[in-house]
Amino acid sequence: MLKFIIKGILRDKNRSVLPVMVVSIGVFLTVALSAWMRGIFGDMTDLNANFDSGHVKVMTCAYNENKSQIPNDLALLGVEEFQKQFEADYPEIEWAHRINFGGLLDVPDENGETRAQGTMVGKAVDLLSPDSKEIDRMNLRKALSAKNASRLPQKQGEVLISQDFADRFGVKIGDDVTLFGSTMYGSMMFSNYTVCGTIKFGNAVLDRGALILDIRDARMAMDMEDATGEMLGFFKEGEYEDVQAKAIQASFNAKYTQADDEYSPTMVILTDDSTIGMYLQMANSIGGIMVFVLILILSVVLWNTGLLGTIRRYSEFGVRLALGERKVHIYKSLLGEAVVIGIIGSVLGTAMGLWLAYYLQETGIDFSALMNNVTMMIPSVYKAKITPETFYIGFIPGLFAVVLGNALAGRAIFKRQTSQLFRELEV
Amino acid sequence: MEKQFPVGKSFFTALRDVNLDFGEGEFAGLVGPSGSGKTTLLNIIGSLDQPTKGDAEVMGKSISELNHKQAAQLRNEHIGFIFQTYNLLPVYTVFENVEFSLLLQNHTAAERKKAVMEALDWVGIADKAKLKPSTLSGGECQRIAIARAMVKKPKLVLADEPTANLDSKNSHHILQTMKKLNEELKTTFLFATHDEKVMGYLDRIVKLEDGRVVEDLVNEKLKM
């Protein structure tokens, strides 16, 4: 009987083409959009993790309480020793030291006099250690401007500044700039650097007056030897794992955080920031949301398609009843057809969706022109992300919607008298 | 037996005071104008409908007492239908159309093939087994319908205006085929018709008017 059903579907274009097209389009949208949305929210999370929060972040309790002010006077001391302990306690995490600071960047003229000045937000990271992953983590190679001879710092004393800042103040590669700020002990500091490159992340938050330098330079300038504002931890596997992060946080804080010592280290995790938590939740639940919406839409469409198909096939049902087939058997065969159509449509839709998702994963869509004034840390190129879920997620709405649609439409068989269906033969 | 259909708030009586007996191997017809109740009576005998009053007994089964499953089983095992408009399934081949009845029973593929080819042979279109009905003439389509009805060797075949869409030559050919099957297989044929050509072949004619049996006579011409 299954062979009979499949033959009928394949030969009767009215029975198969429209439903397969509807299912394919629905599945295509589910697969492509869920992968894209997952990619967008995943990228937002990664961007925040890589630039700001890490998967976990260790600071002093006092620094954490005032973190919006970037209080380097409350920085964590003895970080080399802490690093060894943390590596031993949490081997699944790799650590990166970061110092964030604010200051004034002075651009001198050929006589050494101030030509221009602007406020900047600095970020000190490990740019020079051969085993450092910070350059990749912050995507600095790609962010380097192609308009000039920009390159990454190769020795201490070299810095990167934002393209935006360089354009505003006419800074060129090789120019010297002076950073004015304060040390962690509150005294004034100034330090000279050579600009070796300009960068553009494509995000207003990151691009507005950014200065990136090696953490050794920052420590020297700010008297932060063996100290750091933040220690960011990243899972070596690469993906953030909320359950694991929470377990590590609980264990860390139980071991290291002391209520009566505001300089004791404390750990926060990525999802402690409610916005990032929402991003992560969206990334994880977007598939479910897409599936639910698509099931709803597809079911209604396929219900109507099925109704039309069922009405068109009343004469066939009449013949089958006359030949001794039971209504429930006809109904089951309709559901069987729905499963076959659902599988064919889901395979086609998934293939098309994966193709688009792959394209969006590799290329993405660049919205940077629209993001000059965006103040959230979100990527400017929206890329998809193909996960194992992408391969099967389309089958859920594809199969469920077509079966539901046919199940609803097929009820007409039971609602009509056998003799009435039979009379349709003569219509 | 009586059969009523609801029409708005009242009822239309399609059959009234019907009291008939058909024996094994009969070649009989229900004859009458449109609306006389022929098809309604055929539907009840075919267990597609139930009487409002009284009962119909087919192969020892009371139609009024059959549930949907039992009625389907009765049709599947013992009753074949032939329709005015053939009602073949257009997407399937001649072979598959005839095979369909057997798919509902537990036959092996080899058994089905043998039975289908035998049935197509009876009606003389075995060479057209692989064709689609749309490529065949009306007469050939009706012969497929006869093969489909006969393939499971039913005890009773109900034919509703089987020649209405056929020309004279094809009508006679079809009727001769059915008559031959009736004689060789002892299958009971019951027609609903107002076609004079059909009446010429019938052994018994039951005339209906306004749902009543007005005449029940043996066709003397054939008896002679």
Question: Any residues with CB less than 8 A from the CB of A364 and at least 6 apart, and which?
Answer: A39, A381, A382, A383, A384
Q: Which of A4, A418, A421, A424 to mutate to test the interface with B (most CBs of B within 10 A)?
A: A418
Instruction: Compute the 3-state secondary structure of chain B and give helix, strand, coil in percent, each to the nearest 5.
Output: 40, 20, 35
Per-residue model confidence (pLDDT) at position B86: 82
Per-residue model confidence (pLDDT) at position A426: 46
Per-residue model confidence (pLDDT) at position B78: 92
Q: At residue A417, does pLDDT exceed 70?
A: no
Please tell me which residue, B164 or A250, carries the higher pLDDT value: A250
Instruction: Taking each helix axis as running N to C, give the angle between helix B94-103 and helix B138-150, from 0 to 180 degrees, rounded to the nearest 10.
Output: 20
CB contact under 8 A, B74 and A315: no
Interface list for chain B against chain A, based on CB atoms closer than 8 Å = 43, 46, 48-49, 68-69, 71-77, 79, 81, 83-85, 87, 89, 91-92, 96, 100-101, 103-104, 148, 160
Point out the residue among B49, B87, B103 whose CB comes nearest to the CB of A319.
B87
pLDDT confidence bin for A220, thresholds 50/70/90: very high
Per-residue model confidence (pLDDT) at position A371: 63
Whether the CB-CB separation of B103 and B95 falls below 8 Å is answered with no
Point out the residue among A11, A319, A324 whose CB comes nearest to the CB of B72.
A324
Q: Which domain does B58 fall in, by range?
A: 3-223
Q: Encode A256-279: b = buried (16+ Cβ within 10 Å), e = exposed.
A: bbeeeeeeebbbbbbbbbeebeeb
Chain B residues within an 8 Å CB radius of A337: none
Per-residue model confidence (pLDDT) at position A376: 58
* CB contact A424 to B (< 8 Å): no
Residues 150-189 of A with CB under 8 A from B: none
CB contact under 8 A, B46 and A322: yes
Can you say how many angstroms the Cα of residue B196 is from the centroid of all Cα atoms in its chain?
18
Q: Which of B34, B39, B47, B89 to mutate to test the interface with A (most CBs of A within 10 A)?
A: B89
User: Dihedral sign, CA of B132, A348, A30, A360?
Assistant: negative
Q: At residue A306, does pLDDT exceed 90?
A: no
* CB contact A316 to B (< 8 Å): yes
Q: At residue A363, does pLDDT exceed 70?
A: yes
Chain B residues within an 8 Å CB radius of A319: 81, 83, 87, 89
- Averaged in consecutive runs of 10 residues, what is the pLDDT profile of chain B (224 residues)? 88 92 93 90 91 93 92 92 86 93 87 93 90 91 90 91 84 88 91 89 93 86 50
Chain A residues within an 8 Å CB radius of B49: 417-419, 422
The HSE-up count of residue B12 (CA atoms within 13 Å, CB side) is 11
Chain A residues within an 8 Å CB radius of B69: 326
pLDDT confidence bin for A418, thresholds 50/70/90: low
- What is the percent of chain A where pLDDT is above 90? 43
Q: What residues does each domain of chain A span?
A: 2-47+277-426, 56-239
CB contact under 8 A, B92 and A7: yes
ipTM: 0.82
- DSSP 8-class letter at B51: -
Rounded Cα–Cα distance for residues A92 and A90 (Å): 5
Structural domains counted in chain B: 1
* CB contact A318 to B (< 8 Å): yes
Rounded Cα–Cα distance for residues B57 and A296 (Å): 49
Chain A residues within an 8 Å CB radius of B77: 324
- Residue B149 C-alpha, separation from nearest chain A C-alpha, in angstroms: 8
- Least confident interval from A45-49, A135-139, B24-28: A45-49
Q: pLDDT by residue (tens digit) across A268-296?
A: 998 887 677 777 777 677 767 877 887 78
CB contact under 8 A, B91 and A318: no
Sole residue written with tokens 């046919």: A406
CB pairs under 8 A between A and B: 73
- Residue B77 C-alpha, separation from nearest chain A C-alpha, in angstroms: 8
Point out the residue among B71, B91, B103 whose CB comes nearest to the CB of A12.
B91
Q: pLDDT by residue (tens digit) across A104-130?
A: 999 998 888 888 898 999 999 999 999
CB contact under 8 A, B83 and A316: no
Q: What is the mean pLDDT of residues A368-372?
A: 67
The HSE-up count of residue B120 (CA atoms within 13 Å, CB side) is 21
CB contact under 8 A, B100 and A426: no
* CB contact A414 to B (< 8 Å): no
- Least confident interval from A15-24, A71-80, A367-376: A367-376
Point out the residue among A1, A7, A418 whose CB comes nearest to the CB of B48.
A418
CB contact under 8 A, B48 and A422: yes
- Residue A337 C-alpha, separation from nearest chain B C-alpha, in angstroms: 15
* CB contact A320 to B (< 8 Å): yes
Rounded Cα–Cα distance for residues B215 and B206 (Å): 6
Point out the residue among B48, B96, B148 whose CB comes nearest to the CB of A321.
B48
Please tell me which residue, A367 or A347, carries the higher pLDDT value: A347
State the CATH number of the domain containing residue B69. 3.40.50.300
* CB contact A315 to B (< 8 Å): yes
Helices (H), B4-152: 38-45, 68-78, 94-103, 109-122, 138-150
Per-residue model confidence (pLDDT) at position B104: 83
